[in-house]
Amino acid sequence: MSLPSLDALAAATPASRNRYVDFLRALAILVVACGHWLLAAVVVRDGQLIPNALLNIASWTHPLTWVFQVMPIFFFVGGYANALSWRSARAKGGSYAGWLRARILRLGTPVVPLLLVWLVICTAAYLGGVPATTLRTASQVALVPTWFLAAYVLVVATTPWALTLWERFGWWAIAAGLALGALIDAISLGAGPFGEGVFAIGFLNYLVVWGVVHQLGFAWRDGRLDGAVRRAALAAIGFGVLGILVWLLPYPVSMIGVDTIAVNNSYPTRVTLGFLGLGQAGILLLLEPWAQSWLQRERPWKATILVNARIMTLYLWHLTAMVLVIGLLLLLGGLGLHAEPLTGTWWALRPLWYALLIGVTVGFIRIWGRIESIPRDDRPPPPLWRPLVATVLLCGGLGVMAAQGIVSSAGLRWWWPLLPIAGVALLGRPSSSQPSVQGD
């Protein structure tokens, strides 16, 4: 399905649309892609590829993650959009089953070609004798974006109940969520009277902490964050508490995982990311009046539309592009990969590195991006079990692959990518000729 022209989409933008929501969504994903590409500190030594990350070798980069860990922003704007969407569906007498089906299709459909491509690559390479450890590393890196998708789908699926809590309890719902997230961390990390800790309990915060940031988007939508004083207070509370947690408790400064540090703020999600979300939201909302005026201009708004039209494809494929580029450079004798990270030569090569990655990613978008244009779903609502089972299959399969890749230490696990694919297939695909391309 082809996209309408940017001119047509820009002209059709209703005056009531909050353009800053679309802009922040696009900005967050662009920062994620550029950040992942910059963090990669791979080098070839003695003919061997040595994978690494800047965060592992340069501690001065850790404070920068308070800016470049932007996943909270995506949950924040998602809360705004999902509150608007669910309330609209509810006002029209729509069902939860129909609403959830539409959301899962929009989020899950773009991941299907990615999983199929990596299933084919891993199967062919494994049968061809490529070591399982090599394939596990490659597929795990390429599928890192799916951890976010799994968490986001889970949070989206709980929107009606989260919105009810917000409408009934307001800020107390957010405060209680942060308190619960802190308690989960304490049990997971073994803090206070909790003994050795139960690490797996921490994964509950994928729903609890991200759910809090999602609810913060409800507050924005309802005007509960209007005014510079409230927004400045939100930023101060968020970054202030985050600073205290990092200073007094065993949370590291880096909001992205570092291999050499035992506690990881993002795997599983820790309450620190909840307070980071509060701080980032406060700062970004302080900039909203200026940004709203700027986005009335033709060029920035068209650029925002363009990114949002293919935002999931960009997000899902940008690390596959990096893995492919590294593989091609290795075939060329490690061309460009011999420079030691953070040296002058390494920095001088970054523009070329980015040019290659952007080119390959754009190529993937041209191939797969059209799948992202999901038609408007005018079908009758399905039985509730269908979108619920689809949610479980999508979240479960993506969660496992984000942690393990498609190849485990025991060999090829071809059925893992089939779980999310089956979940999407279970919902079918609408046949309407009216796609939505600016995001929800």
Say if residue 359 is exposed, middle or buried (CB neighbours under 10 Å; 0-12, 13-18, 19+).
exposed
Say if residue 2 is exposed, middle or buried (CB neighbours under 10 Å; 0-12, 13-18, 19+).
exposed
CA distance 30 to 251: 27
Tens digit of each residue's pLDDT, the chain (440 residues): 445 678 888 888 888 899 999 999 999 999 999 999 999 999 999 888 899 999 999 999 999 999 999 999 999 999 999 999 999 999 999 999 999 999 999 999 999 999 999 999 999 998 898 888 888 888 889 998 888 899 999 999 999 999 999 999 999 999 999 999 999 999 999 876 665 668 889 999 999 999 999 999 999 999 999 999 999 999 999 999 999 999 999 999 999 999 889 899 999 999 999 999 999 999 999 999 999 999 999 999 999 999 999 999 999 999 999 999 999 999 999 999 999 999 999 999 999 999 999 999 999 999 999 999 888 888 999 999 999 999 999 999 998 887 777 887 778 888 889 999 999 999 998 875 545 544 55
Residue found by looking up tokens 């609209």 in the block: 88
Tokens matching residue 306: 């363009």
Tokens matching residue 169: 């309890």
In Å, what is the CA distance from 97 to each residue of 82, 104, 386, 440?
Answer: 15, 10, 8, 17
Tokens matching residue 126: 């494994």
Residue 260: enclosing H or E segment and its boundaries?
none
CA distance 142 to 36: 11
CA distance 267 to 66: 16
Could you list the beta-strand ranges (E) of 55-124. none
Q: Model's pTM, two decimal places?
A: 0.93
Name the β-bridge partners of 94: none
CA distance 247 to 50: 33
